[in-house]
Amino acid sequence: MQLVPYNFTRQLGWASIQLGETGQVLSPHHLAGILISELKHMAEAHLGRQIENAVVTVPRHVTYDGREHVRFAATSQAGFRVAKIVDEQIAAAAAHGHHTEHGDGGGAVLVFHVGGRTSHATIFKFVDGRARLIQARDDLFFGGKYPSEFLADSFFYCFSSDDFTARLVDHFVELIKQQHGFDIRQDTAALLRLKAECERAKKALSYQQETTVSLLDGVDSSLLTRAKFEELNRDLFERAMALVDSVVMQAPVVGEHRKGRSLLDTAMDMFAGRRSRAAESRRKDMVDEIVVVGGSTRIPKIRHLVKEYFRGREPSNRGGVEPDETVVHGALLLTRPPMAPRIHLTRLIPVSNTTTTTSPAF
């Protein structure tokens, strides 16, 4: 089902979009330039002055080429003089480290980000005010709906829609077809209005048990309950929690291996599914705090599953930073070194030839 008013194509090897009415082809970095330019103009209008520099956050899986295209979009297209590209996980760690006492306590922090189409879980350990990456896992195709030939272009995922919303759209498209004999997919404007309604309903269900969804621009409506929303997205919730389980169970734990068995033997047991309850308990206890990031983590079911997985421990919210503002808050802190913790990471940046690079401390 087409949920967007454009088609997918390729231009100079890049997955791109082609506008239906004009046929104009836009590449991902061109779209990024348009978006960043608009954000720059909005910020300058609000502040009443020119902004010269920017920190742009990207998902960890974005390749080196993708990062350079983002940098080009921010400087050459949007007009910033300097653009620093930072991993979302690093920014989230900076935001958390600014509001925590772990700078001296050596605590391990799980950063769990649930995005619309990509999600990731990362474990950091704070030692002497520095955050060190312990383990990270990404799910790049979180319920993806794009044609398979475009899945390799991970940069393109910056412009995808929310999968939880898409599930609601799928549900109501079929409901409209059953009740009215009308395929709303043939009417792009009506489909986009339905998508906007589903997005609104998803957010409303984070705070209430039910809401009404307008199906045909006021002609018909349907009641949507939180229980139905959770049923439609059950597999996505399971997939998100599988990501958490993967990063927790595969993170190294000092002293876990038994006498006479190497760490490699223990790791092989974990991959083969041979893990004891005691081992699971130790690994979950290793995580001192859980930080949830991204607007989708407002969904009550996700927070409930995280709490259940960690045996009743609630995700933290130090400093009162909203989940969908954590990354931006951290990016701001990284522009002011005296305010931010020193982030020291061994970071793997995906490139076409799988070269591994080590990042310096910020």
| 70 in a structural domain | no
Strand partners for 287: 108
Contact 88, 119 (CB under 8 A): no
Res 189: pLDDT:
86
The pair of three-digit structure tokens given for residue 226, joined into one six-digit string = 């939180």
CA 60/CA 90 separation, integer angstroms: 9
CB under 8 Å to 325, separation ≥6 — which residues? none
| 353 in a structural domain | no
| 279 in a structural domain | yes
Longest dimension (CA), the chain: 71
Res 223: pLDDT:
95
The pair of three-digit structure tokens given for residue 22, joined into one six-digit string = 């004009």
| 15 in a structural domain | no
**Of 188, 207, 232, which residue sits at a domain end?**
232
| 97 in a structural domain | no
The amino acid that residue 195 corresponds to is K
| 221 in a structural domain | yes
Q: Which ranges of the chain have pLDDT less than 50?
A: 103-104, 143-161, 254-261, 339-341, 346, 348-362
**Same domain as 316, residue 240:** yes
Cα R_g (the chain), whole angstroms: 22
**Same domain as 260, residue 185:** no
Res 264: pLDDT:
58
Res 142: pLDDT:
60
**Same domain as 251, residue 131:** yes
How many helices and strands in the chain, by DSSP H and E? 12, 12
CATH code of residue 272: 3.30.420.40
Res 348: pLDDT:
47
The amino acid that residue 283 corresponds to is R
**Residue 123 half-sphere exposure toward CB, CA atoms < 13 A:** 23
CA 190/CA 185 separation, integer angstroms: 8
Res 269: pLDDT:
55
**Same domain as 122, residue 269:** yes
Q: Is 203 exposed, middle or buried (0-12, 13-18, 19+ CB in 10 A)?
A: middle
| 293 in a structural domain | yes
**Same domain as 243, residue 208:** no
What is the residue range of 197's domain? 163-232
CA 322/CA 329 separation, integer angstroms: 9
300-309 vs 234-250: helix crossing angle, rounded to 10: 30
Res 160: pLDDT:
35
Res 358: pLDDT:
39
Res 98: pLDDT:
63
Contact 171, 232 (CB under 8 A): yes
**Same domain as 225, residue 169:** yes
Res 7: pLDDT:
79
- Which residue matches tokens 């998803």? 202
**Total of domains in the chain:** 2
CA 182/CA 193 separation, integer angstroms: 15
**Same domain as 310, residue 193:** no
CA 61/CA 40 separation, integer angstroms: 25
Res 27: pLDDT:
84
Q: What pTM did the predictor assign?
A: 0.74
